[in-house]
Amino acid sequence: MNPLVKHANRWIDPLDLVTDLQGDMNRLFSSSLRRGPELGFGEFIPSLEFKEDENQFLVHLDIPGMERKDLDISVSGNTLSVKGERKTEEHKKEKGYFYSERHYGSFQRSVELPAEVDTDKVAASYKDGVLELVLPKSEKAKPKQIKVDVK
């Protein structure tokens, strides 16, 4: 059985098309990941990890080089917002080549939470460039066990 298909007066192996598409997709994703998530001049998007269990949400945000005073964290309704700004470092101009992939400027991340949060019990900590937010669910958002009486 011949797997080749005639297309526009030439023979094409369909698997070559799939391989080409996979290569194109790999280049697309690797180039965007290599450069980092950028919006424009002076803006960046830090990586975020979101976990949920029956009692709380746990959020980790990678923001190395930030200072606590440059962060603004808020919860409004079901939306968590984290804003901040990483200041550029001063570099002395010397002879030679200078190259940097570090991101400076402002960022804002907002996450729609699937349930209400008890804003009085939200806790935030910042260590080794990772902001950790613990967002306890409100009592009415927690699952409730309903006991059914059998008669």
Give the chain's radius of gyration (CA, Å).
Answer: 24
pLDDT at 38: 46
Task: Give the CATH number of domain 39-139.
Answer: 2.60.40.790
Taking the C-alpha atoms of residue 69 and residue 66, their distance in angstroms, rounded to an integer, is 8
Task: Calculate the alpha carbon distances from 53 to 17, 40, 67, 78, 142 in Å.
Answer: 43, 35, 29, 16, 10
Q: How confident is the model at residue 34 (pLDDT cuts 50, 70, 90)?
A: very low
pLDDT in tens, 45-72: 889 999 999 899 999 999 988 888 889 9
Evaluate if residue 36 carries a pLDDT over 50.
no
75-103 pLDDT per residue, tens: 988 899 999 988 776 666 677 766 777 77
Q: Which pTM does this prediction carry?
A: 0.62
Q: Return residue ranges of the chain for CATH 2.60.40.790.
A: 39-139
| Residue found by looking up tokens 């269990």 in the block | 53
Residue 24's H or E segment, with its range, is helix 14-35
